[in-house]
Each structure stands twice: as C-alpha cells, then as structure tokens.
Structure 1
Amino acid sequence: MVVLEPLSKLVTDIFLLEDGHAQERSEFDSVLKKVEAKDLWCGDRNFCTLKFLFTIQEKEAFFVIRQHKGMGFKELEELKKIGLTETGELFEQKVEINYEGKTLTLRRIVLKLFTPTRDKEWEIGIFSNLPESISAAKIAEIYRNRWTLESLFQTVTKNFNGEIQTLAYPKAALFSFSMALVAYNILATLRGALGGVHGVEKIEAGLSNFYLVDEIQGTYRGMMIAIPTSEWEIFQSFSTDKIAQLLQKLSPGVHLKKFLKATRGAKKPKVPVIYDRKKGHISTNRLLEEYNQQKKRS
C-alpha cells in the first residue's frame, strides 16, 4: 500500500506485504499509526471499515472514504440534492455509524453519475467527517483526485519496470518496487520544478513521463561517462532548499516540446481477461513457507 501526498505528488510512505494473497486490511493498524491530527486521508472503499474511520476521528484527523456496500449506517435525514458536477448529480445527507458502543455522525455524499464507471456502477457514495464549511462538491473533487494514485502505479510499472515479471523472492520483488517508487519521487520532483516555472497545468496536461524518463536515462549514461565522479560530489552537501533553487534555475532551459504527450487516437475496446480456474494466482511467500515447513519436518 502506497501513501501519496496529492499536492507534491510525492510518495510519503509505503506498507509492504510479502504474502500475495494477503488483504490490505491486514496492515490497517500500521497505516493508522501514521495518522496525525488535522491530516486528511482519502481512500477507496476497501478502507471503509468502522475501526479505520473511528480511529481517524479519535486522532482528530479527517477522511474522505468511498462507501463500502457492506458498511452499515443509520440515516439521520433524507438525501438532499446539492447540485450538478461535470460527472453527475450531487446529493448529501447526515448518517450515523456505531462501533464498540460509540457513535459517530458523518456526512454521506452521493454522486449519481451521468455515465457509469468501468465497473458499471451508476452511483458513488462517500463518507466524510469534514466540517460543513467544506462543500459536498469539494469533497467529491477530493475523492475524484484520488485517481492520481492509479496513474502513479501506471508510471512505476511502465517507465521504471517496478514489477518483476518472473517469479522472485517476495523481499526481492518488494525491494525492486520500492526502488521504482524512489525513482518516481525523483520524477515527481522534476515535474514539480518544471511546473513552478512553466505552469502546473501545462506540465500536468502535456508532459509525457515516458519521454522525460527516456531522456533522463540516456543523458545520465552519457554524463556518467563524460564527467568524473568528483564533479558530482558537491551536490552531496546541498540542502533541500538549495537543490530546489538549482532545479528552478535549470527549468527555463528545458524545451518542453521534446517531451509532449503523443496525440492519442480512439480507444480500442478492451480485450476481456480469460482466467484459468485450474491455474490460480500463486503467492510466492506461501510457497516458501510451505517449503520451509516441509524441510523442518524432514
């Protein structure tokens, strides 16, 4: 599980699970330890558990979590129509949830979509404990921007080869993925520096991660050959602020046209994935544990 800071686009934390069959919820206690007062945590429906929401509330933090169908709640009022967004009609109501004898009043935001999601869903429910001063439209926007996390995984997979394609020891696979996240953070830092000079909207809309990574990889190899190691040592003493100033100083010289996204044609229909029930998903971690157990018995 990866924690992404939405403004900087930086990965700030990661929770590693060696068992490929393990549920994310098995690590929720580790996630909750990171919650601090006044934080705002946004997550998909898998994070919609009573303990998760109540713990965030108890730590005086906030959440915007998509409603899970299995989450029970008591309606305190009827749904009220708030208005329209780009994607659908917006509604809101107050609801109550109970956990271990405690009650919590929440805002339930419902977005009735004009077009269904890829899972053929026409409605999205969101639970939040944000104050009334934050509009329902803003809460819906906060959840919508959570999809930035999906683009992170796409970037890590396609540009940094973060997932080992062959069978590997769990720790090796997780180490490879973690290093890919470090590379992603470097890329996010560069994009942030370019956005500060050329405009954030221009960078977000038009800059291709693929072309940018390809340029860095090629240039880096040449620079390592042409420039002695001693010339790079000065950067070890630079503070974060000084590095940021250097990147901003260099950013105006970047020719963005070289790194623009290619114009995309019409999307091709997605080919459905065919699953073989006889050959299900295998957890390498569990195979190793079984092997070690057999070894001990013998």
Structure 2
Amino acid sequence: MARVLMQQALSREWLEEVFEQHRDQQYTRELLFSTVVDLMALVALGRQPSLHAAAQASPELKVSLAALYDKVNHTEPEVVRALVRGSSEKLVPVVAPMKEKQTQWAAGYRVRVLDGNHLAASEKRLKPLRGFRGAALPGQSLVVYAPELDLVVDMVPAEDAHAQERALMGPVLEQVQKGELWLADRNFSTTGILFALHDKQAAFIIREHGVSPNPTELGPPREVGRVETGLVFEQAVRIEEETGRQLTLRRVVLHLDEPTEDGETVIRLLTNVPAERMGAQEVARLYRRRWSIEGMFGRLESVFQSEVAGLGNPRAALLAFGVACMSYNILAVLQAAVETEHRLDAANFQVSSYYIANEVRSTYSGMMIAVPEVKWEEFETQSAPELSRTLLRLAANVNPARLRKHPRKPKKKTKKGYVPGAEARRHVSTTRVLRGQEST
C-alpha cells in the first residue's frame, strides 16, 4: 500500500517537474532532485539514521557526498512548499471517499487548522555556530492541517527561526478558499488577517490577542450556557481597518473551571460564523479541537525523523521537515484505508501510526527485492478513485489488531510546589527507592 501511494504521490517524474517549476538558482546537472527526496525519505521514515548513511547505502547515487549536501543545503523553501502542497493535492481525492461517512467537524465547512512549528535545535556543525553557547535553531514553518482528512495540506517554510509567525501569513492567505473554516491561536489575531479571511469568504475562529485587534464592544456579554471546560458568554464586537472599513464579529468568551498551564482563566474567541449556523457553545467546543494539530506534530516527532539534528543548514532542515510531512500524509492515507475497510470505531479502537510506520520500515526493503518492478506498472495509470478502491482491497489483508494503539491513562494532576534548587537537583537510586531505602 505504501509503495502504491508513493508511486502516485511522489513519482520521480512529478518530483523533477516540481523542482523545475519552482527552483530559482538551482539546476540539475548529474544529481536528480528526485534522488535527493528519496534519500531524505529514507531518513524521515527511520530506515536510515542519517542522510550520510542513506547516501552510502544507495547504489543509485553517482555523485560525491559533497555534491549531495550542496544540493540539499541549497534547496529553496519555495520548492519544499510546492512538494508538500502538490503531494497533498494528489492524496486528497484518494482519501476523501474513505472519510465520507465520518461526522463533519462543522457542517458546511472544510476545517483548516493553522499553527507554527519551530524546528528543534540542531548540532553545531556549521563553522559560524561552533563558538556559540546557545541553541542553534535552523528554522520554522507555518503548517496548515486538514483534521477531517488528517493531511498536512500546506507548509510555508521560513529560514529565520526568530521571524514572527504572523509575518509569514502572506502565502497562506493567498490560498484561502471560500467555504473553509480556519482555526488559529492568538498569534494570528490581527486586523489584517481577520479582514483577509473574511474577504476570501472564509470563516474563522481565532483566539483573541490581549492587544490586537482590540475590538469595540457593541453590547454587554450574555451568558449562553456551559461546555465541558467552563461557562460560555457571547458578545457582539466590531473591528476597523485603517481605511475605516468595519467588520462586525462575535466574541465568544469561555470562563474556565480550571486555569490553563499559563494560569489563564478566560479565553476569548473571535469569529465571523453566523450564530444561526453555529452557536457559541459549539464555537468553544470546536476551538478546543484545534489541539488536533499538536497531536499531528507529536506524531511527526515520534513516528518520523522530522527534525534531523545533524542538518544544521536551515534549507536542509526545512527540506527534511517537508519530506516528513509528505511521509506523514502517506501513512495517514494508509491508516484511513485500514480503519475504513475494517469499519473501526475510533472511540473504541484506534490504529497507531507508529505501528504502521514500523510495519513499512521492517518489510519494505525485502518486498522491493522480492517483487519485480514490472508488477507495479499496473498501478501507474490508476485514477484517484481507482487507487482508493485498490487501497481498500489491500487493506482487507491487514490484521488491525497488530496496529492497535494502546494509549496511556491521563496523568493525575498534582501540585509539586516550590522546593530549593539543591532539592530539585538531588538524584536518587531507583532501586533503593523501590525498596523503600531512598538514598542520594
């Protein structure tokens, strides 16, 4: 199933086409861009521990390691974004039929969750970094996630890790479409962003920043009921552009029963969704589900090598993250096929993306040796609906019990309180603690 999907979504011909369309200064001489992506995918999937190891094991690489790293270190962010967007566009019509019967997040809308992701600190292999004591951050990205499809549908890479997230919104706003509902945190609560989404005839639920956009209240808040986490109020507000243009919105205020990790007890949300289409309580519940993107980031980190510590060059690190996003999408489609074919109820039986990735890692190389290349040719010309049916047919042979997720129980909340630094840094012998003989 993974091989068939990669043949469609990451074909060598398509990868070279994307490179030629979006490159600026790079060019192809001896090293094909598709070869670079293939090697990086081996690292993302965990089949190779590093790009260096993947290159050494590849019989197809005919250039030096220096040439390979030069290509990787100069891959332009526009190319990385085109890879993520293009591959997701190929997969949406494949996975959509599998998701037809699931309950929509918001009736009549296509939900999009927006969030920023800072890449973890890299090793200081670049000469200018070696004398620097602090962490070296190779970059960040804005990620657009379609939670109902479980796909990363867009990614805007940024080489400057200290750039403000809202400053990267231009390319995202260009792609906003009518009928979408955008969920985002307060980093994106600006007058310009709210007006831009509204002008695109898209809906939004965005957490209000303490300073921006500072809307004018049009009346007192009124209590509308409770949700699982607290008491909900609703209020009409208005924001205004510098040109004088005004926009009336709803402010949904959630008074939390328990404070957040930051100690906040009130969350204010701004939305242009009409009240007759979505009540204030539903707005509050839907925004809470925005955390689904954090779960996706967690799976990217735990299942894939999305942030390769050895790639300190910003463009190389962003390419690795982009390839990991594409790999995530492929595994998400595999997971959807298994869940759909076996009619699994997510409330009672969850499939683990970790076990799916482990299955691919453990058997892929042997399968490629055992199955002749000619056997794959019949799948090359399949349309998206045909490919969707093929995946479901293959998924019937999967034993879902081997892929079942075993989530941990929620941790009990305990207040640790203040202790002196010496006490916090004190170490213990686990064996002696278990024996009841705690000792430093």
* Alignment pair present for 1:11 and 2:155: no
> How far is the alpha carbon of 1:248 from its aligned partner?
1.6
* Alignment pair present for 1:83 and 2:225: yes
8 Å CA contact 1:50–1:99 kept in 2: the answer is: yes
Gaps of 5+ in 1: 272-298
Counterpart-to-counterpart distance in 2, 1:198 and 1:258? 13
Counterpart-to-counterpart distance in 1, 2:221 and 2:148? 32
Gaps of 5+ in 2: 1-141, 417-440
Distance 1:252 1:117, change over 3 A: farther
Counterpart-to-counterpart distance in 1, 2:402 and 2:347? 13
Within a 5 Å distance, the mapping from 1:177-188 to structure 2 comes to 177-188=321-332
Equivalent residue, structure 2, for 1:34: 175
Distance 1:223 1:270, change over 3 A: farther
Counterpart-to-counterpart distance in 2, 1:188 and 1:68? 33
Q: Which shifted more, 32-41 or 247-256?
A: 247-256
Equivalent residue, structure 1, for 2:108: none
Equivalent residue, structure 1, for 2:196: 55
1:86-107 Cα deviation digits (max 9, x unpaired): 1111111111111111111100
Equivalent residue, structure 2, for 1:95: 237
Within a 5 Å distance, the mapping from 1:139-288 to structure 2 comes to 139-199=283-343, 201-202=345-346, 206-264=350-408, 267=411
Equivalent residue, structure 2, for 1:121: 264
Distance 1:57 1:18, change over 3 A: same
Q: Which shifted more, 230-239 or 148-157?
A: 230-239
Counterpart-to-counterpart distance in 2, 1:41 and 1:203? 25
Counterpart-to-counterpart distance in 2, 1:194 and 1:138? 30
Equivalent residue, structure 1, for 2:187: 46
Q: TM-score, normalised by structure 2?
A: 0.58
* Alignment pair present for 1:22 and 2:163: yes
8 Å CA contact 1:81–1:90 kept in 2: the answer is: yes
Q: TM-score, normalised by structure 1?
A: 0.85
Amino acid at match of 1:50: T
Amino acid at match of 2:256: L
> How far is the alpha carbon of 1:183 from its aligned partner?
0.6
Counterpart-to-counterpart distance in 2, 1:187 and 1:114? 38
Distance 1:203 1:82, change over 3 A: closer
Amino acid at match of 1:76: L
> How far is the alpha carbon of 1:141 from its aligned partner?
2.3
Counterpart-to-counterpart distance in 2, 1:107 and 1:199? 39
Counterpart-to-counterpart distance in 2, 1:64 and 1:162? 29
8 Å CA contact 1:191–1:203 kept in 2: the answer is: no
Task: Extract structure 1 runs of 4+ deviating beyond 4 A.
Answer: 268-271
Counterpart-to-counterpart distance in 2, 1:265 and 1:84? 26
Distance 1:125 1:193, change over 3 A: same
8 Å CA contact 1:195–1:203 kept in 2: the answer is: no
> How far is the alpha carbon of 1:48 from its aligned partner?
0.5
- The percentage of aligned residue pairs carrying the same residue is 39
Distance 1:205 1:246, change over 3 A: same
1:26-47 Cα deviation digits (max 9, x unpaired): 2111111111222211111111
Q: Which shifted more, 26-35 or 248-257?
A: 248-257
Distance 1:28 1:204, change over 3 A: farther
Counterpart-to-counterpart distance in 2, 1:6 and 1:200? 18
> How far is the alpha carbon of 1:173 from its aligned partner?
0.6
Q: Which shifted more, 161-170 or 90-99?
A: 161-170
Q: What RMSD in Å do the two structures reach over aligned CA positions?
A: 2.1
8 Å CA contact 1:66–1:127 kept in 2: the answer is: yes
Q: Which shifted more, 155-164 or 140-149?
A: 140-149
* Alignment pair present for 1:67 and 2:208: yes
Larger Rg belongs to: 2
Q: Which shifted more, 79-88 or 116-125?
A: 116-125
Counterpart-to-counterpart distance in 2, 1:245 and 1:37? 30
Residues matched between the structures, number: 271
Equivalent residue, structure 1, for 2:60: none
Higher RCO structure (Cα 8 Å, ≥6 apart): 2
> How far is the alpha carbon of 1:10 from its aligned partner?
1.0
Counterpart-to-counterpart distance in 1, 2:391 and 2:219? 52
Counterpart-to-counterpart distance in 1, 2:415 and 2:169? 33
8 Å CA contact 1:194–1:203 kept in 2: the answer is: no
Counterpart-to-counterpart distance in 1, 2:194 and 2:415? 36
